[in-house]
Structure 1
Amino acid sequence: MTAPALFDNKTNKQIPDDKLDDDAVKIARQMYRNDMGLISPKDLKKYRSKVGISQRALAEIKGLSPNTIALYEAGEFPTIANNRMLKSLFSNDDVLKEYLIENGNQYSDSVKEKIKAYLGGRKAVLGISSEQPKFKAVQLANWFRVNNYFARQFDYNVDPITQMQVVKLLYFAYGRFLVKSKKRLFSSPILHLQYGPVVEEVHQQFRGMVVLDPDKTDKQAFEDYNLVFSDAEINDLLQKN
């Protein structure tokens, strides 16, 4: 890494300079962001400016703490999960439209007005298909359960999958499928809470369960796995998680 610095002409020794040291740290942190594919404070500010929303409003849309967004804009690195969710939102306005459809009843009136005003000027690039999804969220969750079971048979270091992991995998797959095909991967509402996204149907099915399959999965899970596996497009999508 190359960074600016001051040197004494006579001794050729570096002269301490707080501003240049801060600049060097910023350069190093940005290089790390680039290498890891992390969003930057500039990305956050640019998106908020584009949509016309505050830090608090963005936090409300994503189900995050306002302090979390403030810290990210101040230079903190986002978690892997939050980074993926925010990048998905920033990259495609259909994702924002989907949030409004699925979670509008949870948003404040001012946030809903901001989103609608922004999307109202982007009608030409929006349009989510009304085609019904091929599978239910629980069927896709069962695919992840069985896939995890098979992985554990070959590698004893693989842990049983948790409900939170399944939900996150579904959430990321949903976003990629929406961007790629303009279609919903499943119809169950996604609730954006402070601790992360919740797929309502999956949450109801596995209520109270943290680890889903400490041993072998049930018969229904295997039936759903085989059903989803037979659909090459969806199977390939889930494999990429």
Structure 2
Amino acid sequence: MYDVFKIVNWLRVKNNADMKRNENVEELTQMKAMKLLYYIQAASLVVTGKRMFNENLVAWKYGPVVERVHEKYRGQRAIVGEITDADLDDYSELEQDTNTADILNSIYDIYGYSSAYDLMRQTHKEKPWQETKQSEIISDEAIKNYYSGVFEVEA
């Protein structure tokens, strides 16, 4: 299990590299990072049977949120900022774990180019968020049960 901020740093480094390659790529926002963390956790639960990070996902008005990440980036829209050596080290560490890298890259390839707004709308159509009262934790069981029918596990 990884610290959630290592995963956020992976997303920041990946997005930073994408922005350098393609001027049409938008900078990662806090809202988009939250939705990507949600889908990363869902894929990890389905593929490995375990969480990728320990923090709970909470059902907020605009979709699933990791409260510690929200606190760190409170008041900021874009969160990539300057990429440090420590950020690059986090990225490299996660890329070296094949199973983790497969999940992260798959989720980024599927959802990473959608807008934060589109991802918010998508989470609002899905049962785990819909069936959780606002400000309550979205259960791992609800996430795993729902996304088992969405994410395919290669045998």
TM-score between both structures, scaled by the size of structure 1: 0.42
Determine the structure 1 residue equivalent to 2:86. Answer: 220
Structure 2, unpaired ranges of 5+: 108-155
Runs of at least 4 residues of structure 1 off by over 6 A?
none
Structure 1, unpaired ranges of 5+: 1-132
Q: CA deviation at 1:219?
A: 3.1
Determine the structure 2 residue equivalent to 1:231. Answer: 97
2:43 matched to 1:176? yes
2:17 to 142, 147, 150: 150
Mapped to 2, the partners of 1:223 and 1:163 lie a distance apart of: 21
* Residue pairs, 1:27-176, within 5 angstroms: 133=1, 135-176=2-43
Relative to total residues, which structure has the larger helix share, 1 or 2? 1
CA RMSD, Structure 1 to Structure 2 (Å): 1.4
Give the conservation status (yes or no) of the 8 Å contact 1:189–1:201: no
Give the conservation status (yes or no) of the 8 Å contact 2:13–2:91: yes
Give the conservation status (yes or no) of the 8 Å contact 2:15–2:28: yes
- Tell me the SS of whatever aligns to 1:178: helix
Q: CA deviation at 1:182?
A: 1.4
Give the conservation status (yes or no) of the 8 Å contact 2:13–2:80: no
Q: Higher Cα Rg: structure 1 or 2? A: 1
Mapped to 1, the partners of 2:23 and 2:3 lie a distance apart of: 30
- Percent identity reads 32
Q: CA deviation at 1:178?
A: 0.5
Q: CA deviation at 1:193?
A: 1.0
Q: CA deviation at 1:229?
A: 1.2
2:67 matched to 1:200? yes
TM-score between both structures, scaled by the size of structure 2: 0.64
Determine the structure 2 residue equivalent to 1:102. Answer: none
2:91 is aligned with what amino acid? Y
Give the conservation status (yes or no) of the 8 Å contact 1:178–1:184: yes
Size of the aligned set, in residue pairs, is 107
Q: CA deviation at 1:184?
A: 0.9
Could you report, residue by residue, the CA deviation over 1:144-168 in whole angstroms, capped at 9, with x for unpaired residues? 1000011111111111110111111
